[in-house]
Amino acid sequence: MRILIIEDEKIKRITLTDALLKTGYEVSAFDNPSEAIDAFKESEFDVVVTDLRLPQMGGLDLVEKIKAIRPDTQVIVMTAYATVDTAVRAMKLGAYDYITKPFSSEELILILERLKEFKKIVSENIKLKKQISSRYSFNNIVGKGKEMQGVYELIETIAPRDTTILIIGESGTGKELIAHAVHYNSLRKEKPLVKLSCAALTETLLESELFGHEKGAFTGAIKERKGRFELANEGTIFLDDVDDIPLSMQPKLLRVLQEREFERVGGTKTIKVDVRVICATKQDLMTKVKEGRFREDLFYRLNVVPIKLPPLRERREDIPLLTEHFLRKYCKPSDKKMFSAEAMKLLMDYDWQGNVRELENIIERVIATSKKHEIMPQDLPDTIVPSSQRVCDQHLTDVIEKDASFDDIVIGLEKRLLSIALEKSHGNKSEAARLLKMKRETFRDKIEKYGLK
């Protein structure tokens, strides 16, 4: 780190400079604050260590000037016991810490080492936030079809607003990814995104998870606990599987959406929150409303801006794009892989009941288990490859490994196809030719050529 020392007492200035240089810091020292400010403007310094009592300029004015020029620069002020109040005021102006005179060089070095660790944590937090923003940017929602393009445009429009959103889609279509994209592209992105799946929770547990509970509210409530709405204050709450919320719990959720207030389980104090709400459902909520299993007023509170995600089988044109995306995600830089045309066709033809999540899982598995650069049909799981094709592929692999020539393999396959057609047609040559979509004369010539009956 580069340190700028401003101290008008010569002996103290030299002592500190020598001690910091021996510790490995780069140091520039001045007795004149105006000269120090000029040097600060010309060069980058990580930390400024300054006395509060200086000629020509007051210490508080100096701190204010430094923070105005470079707000990220940390300032440590040196002060006598009689001016500790001034040091506290300096910290309110943005100083990192203060140290009272007289002090040893080791005490200052200890503060600097603590500051170094603090700067490292801040840097890692900034890096992490950038990674999160990148991970949940619009670029990671893959799709070129008309419906997905409409989803991108809608997210881009509503993300900066506080509108309640209902994401509708089958399991595995990427509802949580959409929620992340909305939050991390919103004005609340620096605040928490709190998530909760409403599925498989009893009514008591769900209420406690959403609103928290007071100590002793029920058996096992040994201490006060904040709920998800409270934890999400000033940020976003994402309620997945909102269609699974029990009917008896729905009025309490409706109240939070309307009034932005609630009480913890077992409590009487009303807690107010400022939260953006994003919900997701795998079912048609309007159908549940008509069946009396979901409150109509709650439905309209949730369904302010609906985002419908199509299942993967309805956007097959996105399968190659998604495949390439997951290959980049899971392949090591030194082990790039690609899908053969035959393997890609199988992916395109598959029904994908598990949607994008199922595709991602299969690609991750294939990358982990395949040693070849090109992924072939036989590398795919049994669920993807029809059993008849897998048997055929295995047979061809066995034939190739026996060093058979290409012509021999083709002749063998042709003879086998002709024989199967004859078997299925019970020896009727016209019917056999029709099964193979071949002229009868051509079929007759071939069976005579191979001596088939």
**What CATH number is attached to the domain comprising 417?**
1.10.10.60
Is 391 a residue whose pLDDT tops 90? no
Higher pLDDT, 318 or 79: 318
Count the alpha carbons within 13 Å of 100 in the hemisphere toward its beta carbon: 8
Higher pLDDT, 1 or 195: 195
Boundaries of domain holding 348:
314-384
Average pLDDT over residues 389-397: 56
Model confidence at 124, in pLDDT bands (50, 70, 90)?
confident
Residues 149 and 295 in one domain: yes
Q: What confidence tens digit (pLDDT) does each residue in 47-97 have?
A: 999 988 887 787 788 888 898 998 888 999 888 765 667 777 888 888 888
Among 445, 449, 422, residue whose Cα is nearest residue 434: 422
Higher pLDDT, 176 or 87: 176
Is 405 a residue whose pLDDT tops 90? no
Q: Are strands 261-263 and 74-79 parallel, antiparallel or unpaired?
A: unpaired
Q: Please tell me the pTM assigned to this model.
A: 0.61
Residues 30 and 104 in one domain: yes
Q: Please check whether residue 334 lies inside any domain of the structure.
A: yes
Higher pLDDT, 126 or 223: 223
Residues 153 and 291 in one domain: yes
Q: Please check whether residue 395 lies inside any domain of the structure.
A: no
For residues 28 and 25, what is the distance between their CA atoms, to the nearest angstrom? 10
Average pLDDT over residues 304-308: 95
Is 401 a residue whose pLDDT tops 80? no
Q: What confidence tens digit (pLDDT) does each residue in 131-173 have?
A: 555 555 455 677 777 888 888 889 989 999 999 999 999 999 9
Model confidence at 370, in pLDDT bands (50, 70, 90)?
confident
Residues 196 and 319 in one domain: no
Residues 95 and 50 in one domain: yes
Model confidence at 207, in pLDDT bands (50, 70, 90)?
very high
Is 193 a residue whose pLDDT tops 60? yes
Is 237 a residue whose pLDDT tops 90? yes
Q: Please check whether residue 349 lies inside any domain of the structure.
A: yes
Average pLDDT over residues 434-441: 89
Q: State the average pLDDT for the chain.
A: 87
Average pLDDT over residues 99-127: 83
Among 113, 94, 114, 116, residue whose Cα is nearest residue 50: 94
Q: Please check whether residue 396 lies inside any domain of the structure.
A: no
Is 439 a residue whose pLDDT tops 80? yes
Residues 431 and 292 in one domain: no
The residues, any chain, with a CB within 8 Å of residue 376's CB and separated by 6 or more, are: 340, 342, 343, 393
Q: Are strands 236-240 and 276-281 parallel, antiparallel or unpaired?
A: parallel
Residues 344 and 356 in one domain: yes
The set of long-range contacts for 424-427, using a CB threshold of 8 Å and a minimum separation of 24, is 427/453
Q: What is the pLDDT of residue 82?
A: 53
The three-point CA angle 322-143-175 to 5° equals 85
Q: What is the pLDDT of residue 129?
A: 58
Average pLDDT over residues 250-268: 93
Average pLDDT over residues 23-52: 90
Structurally, the chain folds into a number of domains equal to 4
Q: What is the pLDDT of residue 149?
A: 85
Q: What is the pLDDT of residue 135?
A: 53
Average pLDDT over residues 441-447: 88
Residues 31 and 94 in one domain: yes
What amino acid is encoded at 45 in this protein?
F
CATH of the domain at 110: 3.40.50.2300
Q: What is the pLDDT of residue 126?
A: 63
CATH of the domain at 322: 1.10.8.60
Average pLDDT over residues 182-200: 91
Residues 11 and 83 in one domain: yes
Q: Which of 384, 414, 430 is the last residue of a domain?
A: 384
Is 347 a residue whose pLDDT tops 90? yes
